[in-house]
Chains A and B, each alone.
Chain A
Amino acid sequence: MAYLELRDLHRAFGSVVALKGIDVALEQGEFLSLLGPSGCGKTTALRLVAGFDRPDAGSILVDDKDVTRMSPNKRDMGMVFQAYSLFPNMTAAQNVEFGLKIRRHKRQARHSRVPELLELVGLGDAGNRYPHQLSGGMQQRVALARALAIEPRVLLLDEPLSALDAKVRVQLREEIRRIQLELGITTLYVTHDQEEALSISDHVAVMYGGRIEQMGTPVEMYNTPATPFVAEFIGTMNRLEATVVDGGDGEVDHKGTRLRVEAARGLPRGERVLVLIRPESLELEPAESGPGPEGGLVGEVLTHTFLGSTTRVKVIGAGVDLIADVPTSRIASVPVGMSVIARVPAEGVRLLSLAEQPASAEPVPAGP
């Protein structure tokens, strides 16, 4: 039996359906990120778990106990909010102490626990400061310590890093993970930042339109996306609509260009498929070298975007709109304006049948 279970949760706000039946099962000590674009229902789901809102249907179970109708102050769930939520009239230490006071912990116990927690989040010397004397990152650390002080059954984090600058965000997310592992606390984390979700979670659930599109480990989500939406939302993905021309040989046709794709083997001729290729899987060569035995897509290099060790190259041609990552050391071989062939590897390419795609196979937000 899972420690935290969300069973078929539904929630609508008037005519807007925020959740269309989501199911989650999380073991004790696991870290799950709910990932998705704005309006996908991830924060609604978190608020239902916290008790700030009630589902129209479905149930929430913690340690096999139904808490769906329980008020938030009885749920024992620590929460860190997106907005800075420290009580402005209290010092950092008093903020951390608040939950312990509510639970009528003895003064001595409180006074030994608070410095421990502030130390845990790296703010051992900031106990006497008021929230307005702390930076945003420090405030969120105190908020984390405050949420952990009550030893919650589940820790809920609602985009806690979104108001912070990039450097602090990376630093703090690593600390959140370290603390979560150290305390072994079951954690539900909401974010729209796929890099954040992939880097700190045991499991990631990608949400879209009030549903969970796919749930799995970060590696699974990246390597084997189940839907075009997940494929595009997690990382960057090239999408080529194609038709199977030879299922025995694994050949597909994309706007007159034949490509060999291992995943197409065994598919019936004429089936419409979506070929998904990561930018790092594409290989660019000058067009003079001619198409190889497995073919390639011909286009012209439109732009270079320097990303450090790799450079992102945009290739445009007749029926071709691709993004390829080329090692920066080799970028001189494919300058802007050059005609290139983008070779699609036969293996390591994901194929989705367009016949069985859910609604989200429609246009989706572009990847980064």
Chain B
Amino acid sequence: MRRKRIAPAAVIWLLVGAAYFFIPLIATLLFSLRKTSTGHCCSLAAYGYIVHDPQFWSTLRLSFQLALETIAISLVLFVPTVYWVHLRLPRLRPVLAFLALIPFVVPPIVLVVGLLDFYKGSPQWYYGSPYGFLATAYVILAFPYMFFSLDAGFRAIDVHTLTEASQSLGASWWTTMFRVILPNIRVAALGGAFLTLAIVMGEFTMASLAAFHTFPTFIQYVNETKAYPAAAVSLMSFGITWLAMLALLMVGRGRPGRVQIAGGH
């Protein structure tokens, strides 16, 4: 069989894209490897400084836990909602899509000020805890990413027929959801989860204004005080987020289940 040749123009565009993506990373890496005393290459001192800072681990753990909590709440909240809208209330879909756009157009700074004011009278265990207030804010922030991912997933399957087929075989709503619907929107749910993880791991405005010390606020703190460790922590946060996404992918990966397309014979 003849090997497919890649067009030279495609190779050039690929190289341009790769350069755009990798040059800043390489520059940051080179900068982070400079010695604190002389400013010359090469030393891992900046990385050592970061990993020996207890705040690095505590804020990283907090942000990661917040990301997982946000993903869990979003999935519990939005999967049944989007499922029900597709199944029974299709006329509400445009309304939900419009609502999902709001976090895009309202700046996080406005959102967090509004939320802080709105939840002012709520109990301290909620208002004063990142796992309460901040997680709520992050669910709102992640809403568009989760909604549009799930919406695309539900549109790719025949929700009505799969649900009715499952029910006609004796399955309850619960069984239908967990054994028929969820496995078939897994890729969409994973996509939403990836985006949510990336957003929460990098969200600074809300955490900072609500006075919670998360990983992005730690990066900002290092950035203001130490030049080389700041580059190191930026690269590390990048790597950690990618690793977390890979881990999610591994956890969510299952048997093949391609969406079937009607037609043919």
Q: In chain B, what residue has the closest Cβ to A74? A: B170
**Residue among B165, B255, B259, B263 with the highest chain A CB neighbour number at 10 A:** B165
Q: In chain B, what residue has the closest Cβ to A156? A: B168
CA distance A241 to B125 in the complex (A): 85
Cβ of B159 to closest chain A Cβ, rounded Å = 11
CB atoms of B158 and A83 under 8 A apart: yes
Is the C-beta of A25 less than 8 angstroms from some C-beta in chain B?
Answer: no
Chain B: number of interface residues, binned into ranges: 20 to 34
User: Which residues, 57 to 102 on A, are CB-close (under 8 Å) to B?
Assistant: 71-79, 81, 83-90, 98-99, 102
CB atoms of B265 and A150 under 8 A apart: no
Chain A residues whose CB sits within 8 angstroms of the CB of B169 once the complex forms:
73, 78, 98-99, 102, 146-147, 150
CB atoms of A81 and B164 under 8 A apart: yes
Q: In chain A, what residue has the closest Cβ to B164? A: A52
Is the C-beta of B258 less than 8 angstroms from some C-beta in chain A?
Answer: yes
CB atoms of A163 and B263 under 8 A apart: yes
**Residue among A77, A88, A136 with the highest chain B CB neighbour number at 10 A:** A88
Q: DSSP class of B's interface residues: helix, strand, loop or mixed?
A: loop
Cβ of B82 to closest chain A Cβ, rounded Å = 18
CB atoms of B162 and A87 under 8 A apart: yes
Is the C-beta of A165 less than 8 angstroms from some C-beta in chain B?
Answer: yes
Given the interface contacts A136-B265, A163-B262, does A73 sit within 8 Å of B167 by beta carbon? yes
User: Which residues, 118 to 135 on B, are CB-close (under 8 Å) to A?
Assistant: none
CB atoms of A132 and B258 under 8 A apart: yes
Chain A residues whose CB sits within 8 angstroms of the CB of B172 once the complex forms:
73
Is the C-beta of B44 less than 8 angstroms from some C-beta in chain A?
Answer: no
CA distance A143 to B169 in the complex (A): 11
CB atoms of B184 and A89 under 8 A apart: yes
Q: In chain A, what residue has the closest Cβ to B169? A: A99
Give how many A residues have a beta carbon under 8 Å from the other chain's beta carbons: 41
Is the C-beta of B180 less than 8 angstroms from some C-beta in chain A?
Answer: yes
CA distance A146 to B165 in the complex (A): 10
CA distance A98 to B157 in the complex (A): 19
Given the interface contacts A83-B161, A83-B262, does A89 sit within 8 Å of B167 by beta carbon? no
CA distance A234 to B99 in the complex (A): 52
CB atoms of B262 and A130 under 8 A apart: no
Chain B residues whose CB sits within 8 angstroms of the CB of A73 once the complex forms:
167-172
CB atoms of B260 and A84 under 8 A apart: yes
CA distance A98 to B264 in the complex (A): 25
Question: What number of residue pairs across chains A and B have CB atoms under 8 A from each other?
Answer: 101
Cβ of A350 to closest chain B Cβ, rounded Å = 38
Is the C-beta of A103 less than 8 angstroms from some C-beta in chain B?
Answer: yes
Q: Of B170, B259, B265, which contacts A99 at CB under 8 A?
A: B170
Is the C-beta of A139 less than 8 angstroms from some C-beta in chain B?
Answer: yes
Chain B residues whose CB sits within 8 angstroms of the CB of A77 once the complex forms:
168
CA distance A307 to B62 in the complex (A): 77
Is the C-beta of A216 less than 8 angstroms from some C-beta in chain B?
Answer: no
CB atoms of A137 and B258 under 8 A apart: no
User: Which residues, 104 to 135 on A, are CB-close (under 8 Å) to B?
Assistant: 130-132, 135
Given the interface contacts A88-B184, A102-B175, does A78 sit within 8 Å of B260 by beta carbon? no
CB atoms of A88 and B259 under 8 A apart: yes
Chain A residues whose CB sits within 8 angstroms of the CB of B255 once the complex forms:
89
27 contacting pairs across A/B (C-beta < 8 A): A51-B167, A52-B164, A52-B167, A71-B167, A73-B170, A73-B172, A74-B170, A77-B168, A78-B169, A79-B165, A81-B161, A85-B165, A87-B162, A87-B165, A87-B184, A88-B157, A88-B184, A89-B183, A89-B184, A102-B175, A103-B170, A130-B256, A130-B257, A136-B264, A137-B265, A165-B265, A168-B265
Additional pairs, 20, CB under 8 Å, beyond known A89-B257, A150-B170: A50-B168, A72-B167, A73-B170, A73-B171, A73-B172, A74-B170, A78-B169, A81-B161, A81-B164, A85-B165, A86-B260, A88-B257, A89-B184, A89-B186, A89-B254, A89-B255, A102-B170, A103-B170, A130-B257, A136-B265
Q: Which 7 A-B pairs have the closest CB atoms?
A: A89-B257, A99-B169, A89-B183, A85-B165, A79-B168, A132-B258, A102-B170
* Residue positions of A touching B, CB distance < 8 A: 50-52, 71-79, 81, 83-90, 98-99, 102-103, 130-132, 135-137, 139, 143, 146-147, 150, 156, 163-165, 168
